[in-house]
Amino acid sequence: VGGGRAVPASGRVRRRGRRTGTGGLAQRGPGRGPAGLGFLGYVVTLRTRTLVTIGVTLVGLVAALYVISQIVVVGGFADQEELDARREVARVIGALDDDLSHLQGTAADWAIWDDTYEYVTNGDPRYYSSNLAGDVPMASNDLSLMAFVNSWGETVFVKWYDRGKAASAPVPAGLGEHLAPGKPLSTHSSPNSRISGLILLPEGPLTVVSMPILKSDGSGPVAGALVMGRMLDTHELAALSQTTLISLTAYRVDDPNLPRDFADAMPALAAPREVAVQPIDDGRLGGYTMLADVYGKPAVLLRAELPRTTLTRGQGTVQLFMIGMVLVGLVFGLVILALLERLVMSRLLRLSAGVERIAQTRKPDARVEEAGGDELGRLARDIIRMLDALAESSERGRQSEARFQAVFKTALDPFMVFDDSGKIVEANPAACKLLGLSEQSVLGHTFGHFLPEPSKAAMQDLWARTLAQGGGWGETHIMLPDGQHRDIEFYTRPNVLPGNHFVAVRDVTDRKLLEGRLEYQAFHDSLTGLPNRTLFLQRLSTVIERSRRGHGMVALLFLDLDDFKVINDSLGHKAGDRLLMSVSERLLTCIRPGDMVARLGGDEFTVLVDSLNDVRDAERVAGRIVESVKRPFDLDGQQVFISTSIGIALSVTGSDRPDDLLRNADVAMYEAKQRGKSRYAIFDQSMNVRAWKRLQTEIDLRRALDKGEFVVYYQPVVRLDTRRVAEVEALVRWQHPQRGLVPPAEFIPVAEETGLIVDLGLWVLEQSCRQMRQWQHALGNSAPAAIGVNLSARQFKDPALLSDIGRVLDDTGLDARCLNLEITESVGMDDPDSAGAVLHALRDMGVSLTLDDFGTGYSALSHLRRFPINGLKIDGSFVRDMGVRAEDTAIVHALVAFARTLKLKVAAEGVETAEQAAYLHALGCDRGQGYYFARPVGPAQMEVFLKAGRLPFEVVEPALRTG
């Protein structure tokens, strides 16, 4: 009593009792106590279980309420506390923005002023003495920094003021790099540009504002930049704390002594001005935000401290609520327990006594009585109906046996019945037909009698396991009297009748043959018969696992036929298929026994070589394959030559995943093609980095055009005799939001490969023609005679090229004679006739054509003579050592003479020194372009050059060297 294990209900004995004609209720054993004594123990246990259930329910309810209150109520207070902290941090950020706006207003007062404009342009000393001398301008405006930078990037004036000491101080050493030419603080491309934010100096963070220097009426051009700054030091933070009534703390993000709570908050601050909230201790809550510098890089971490009063009140409220719920639950549990005792337990005891009487008398017509229409009353009536149903069940069993025999004999599927010894005691006609024997010949045999000798032992084990598991499916094959073998499936149902086991059999021989054919087709290439990708990856996974256990190195070779598309395009796809089959046959002759060749699709093959001792073994296999594929193939009497590029990926430790190894080999194959094709390359991690960088560049490029991240810079092409700008070349630049200004060498090749160069080139053409037209309106005769735009090979092959150029000229209103398209020597060399037609059409439109990078390509002079070229540009690689190396000087001289003979304009690229300019002028070169004259600049700076008329460079007499 009181929780012990209950005795069996009704006190039944464990041995099987005698049966009556209608039921077989267990007879009460001798020596038992009064009827109902056994059930009394059950009732006591049920009471205990009920009490435990109510207690567990109460505890679970309280626990659930506690958890819910912690999540909902306390969590709500915590959320409110975090929301308050975020609002306070936002208020602090607003105060910082207000301070920055005030500083911007001060800078604007100085920057838009005729006197400032004149001072930056001409260096008027009166301006300095009237406005900049002494510390008054710095102290009165509460400044730490004031600097003036002219449009050439030169710092005209810079002053540093220590606000703590109220005196001038040396200019910080690190400030110069932020005021250098081309930096955001010193360069303004338009009168409307404004720059404000932070920069990090060794002395600490500096709040800066950079404004373009304009005339008092706001007109330009921009004469330079005015930079004002204020240190974000303890003095500034104290003032900000006093303004916001919030305790503030700030640290540089690169501070080596960064407190632990600041370091913990940094991962949550993925972007500037995001807010992270976390406890500082039990009584304080911190709101953290990150401030970026003017370059968009993380600079300063700022923390606002707040007391945690809201959460403390919420936790107290939850504790009071839980105490009340515990008291209510105790009262509720006692009431429920009393009601169960009165309404259920006592009535259940009476019902148990009635069942005991029926068990003792063994009379199925006996009745139990329990009044009421509830569940216990219905239970008493159900017991009576159960006794009636027992008699009916026996009759239905006899009828069911008759129906079973009828179905068993007439079924089309083979059925058999086995006894406990495994012998067949019954078999239907379909089973006899399957075995090829009469029923008398089948009965009395075990199933192993019909199996081949090697399968008998396995069948005995399978039969034993199936019976032990309560039935199931199995497969085997049988041998018929005529010697045929048939595959069968069987389903076992043990003890359908005591000691009798039912087996259903199905002939699946035809299905197995079909499955075998389908499996072969699923794992092999239909053209070559080689394993396909699925089977190859399965085998690769197995080999890698074996390698992990010390069975040597694994090498995966990824093959791609070079220029296979040419075979399909020229000879047709049927010839291409025959070539692929021939290649697969040769590959099989190049590998060792046990290695695998597979076709992944198209002209891509893979070779799996395992159990290698050295990487040179894999290289030898790759070398054999390269040399074998180089040999000519005979396709219907026609010799065809082709080569292959191979990437090799190695698994040394067996820890590689199959997909990763396949991808690495693919990357190495691409590297082999980049190195010149018909060779192999072994994968290393640097290839993966280059492939990933190229993929990221391609992804960013597709986004850059839509988001307007490209800008056009302009570089003058000048006449060497007059120093005047003869032409301007348009050069595209990519202003990446994270990487900054990306050099063209990093994205132009990717744009060429992906075809994005067509849209990008058209955009550059539109921008350049529109800018040229604006210069013509604004500058009149000072505008350049033409603007040069580079035309890529992909653009040149675009069918819409001529119509696009015509549309751009019509839309912008630019005269075609003012457009000079620059093409390289390789453009159109694979189809000179088609290229010549396009170039003549451009010439007929009035567009000028210049051959760029002349001397580095591979065009024939006969092609050049046929093309309507107006001018040549000598590549800068020859100009670099001109005058130093006699060979380069001779080459440049020959190129200039060649251009003169064809009456072409000639210009030289890459001019970086006065000596190079002098050499070119002496050799008769018309024009020059390079950093010596001017770097590529934005439209506004280019307009300054054009207004000046002449560029500030000198052409001196050269000291010609011949050795």
pLDDT of residue 1: 28
Q: By C-alpha distance, which of 288, 252, 284, 250 is closest to 88?
A: 288
What span, in angstroms and rounded, lies between the C-alpha atoms of 213 and 225?
Answer: 5
Q: Are strands 500-507 and 485-497 parallel, antiparallel or unpaired?
A: antiparallel
The pLDDT of 84-100, averaged and rounded, is: 88
pLDDT tier for residue 730 given thresholds of 50, 70 and 90: very high
Residue type for position 351: L
Amino acid (one-letter) located at 54: I
Instruction: Name residue 643's beta-bridge partners.
Output: 562
The gap between the terminal CA atoms of the chain, to the nearest Å, is 118
Can you tell me the mean pLDDT for 726-742?
90
Average pLDDT of 16-24? Answer: 38
Average pLDDT over residues 632-636: 89
pLDDT bucket at 714, cuts 50 / 70 / 90: very high
Nearest CA to 70 out of 318, 277, 279, 313 is that of 318
Please give the pLDDT value at position 908.
93
> Which tokens is 519 given?
């499996």
Share of the chain above pLDDT 90, in %: 23
Q: Which of 962, 955, 898 is nearest to 922 (CA)?
A: 955
Collapse the DSSP code of 435 into the 3-class scheme (helix H, G, I; strand E, B; otherwise coil) and give the result: helix
Residue 589: predicted pLDDT: 92
Question: To the nearest whole number, what is the mean pLDDT of the chain?
Answer: 82
Summarised one tens digit per residue, pLDDT across range 532-585 is 999 999 999 988 888 877 667 899 999 999 988 878 877 888 889 999 999 999
**Is 673 a residue whose pLDDT tops 80?**
yes
Question: In the block, which residue shows the tokens 């001017």?
Answer: 934
pLDDT at 35 > cutoff 60: no
> Which of 128-142, 363-377, 923-937 shows the lowest mean pLDDT across its residues?
363-377
Around Cβ 815, how many Cβ atoms within 10 Å? 14
pLDDT band at 42 (very low <50, low <70, confident <90, very high): very low
Q: What is the DSSP string of 122-180?
A: H--HHHIIIIISSSHHHHHTT-SEEEEEETTS-EEEEEEEETTTTEEEPPPGGGGGGSS
Q: How far apart are CA 485 and CA 501, in angstroms?
A: 25
Pairwise pLDDT comparison (483 vs 194), residue with the higher score: 194
Phi-psi category of 422—alpha, beta or left, where left has phi over 0 and alpha has psi -120 to 50? left
Query: Residue written as tokens 């990763």?
Result: 660
Q: In this predicted model, which residue has the larger pLDDT, 385 or 179?
A: 179
Burial of 153 (0-12, 13-18, 19+ CB in 10 A): middle
Helix (H) or strand (E) holding 196: strand 195-201
What is the mean pLDDT of the segment spanning 802-806?
93
Q: What is the mean pLDDT of residues 317-333?
A: 81
Give CA–CA dist 314/456, Å, rounded: 76
pLDDT given for residue 366 in this prediction: 64
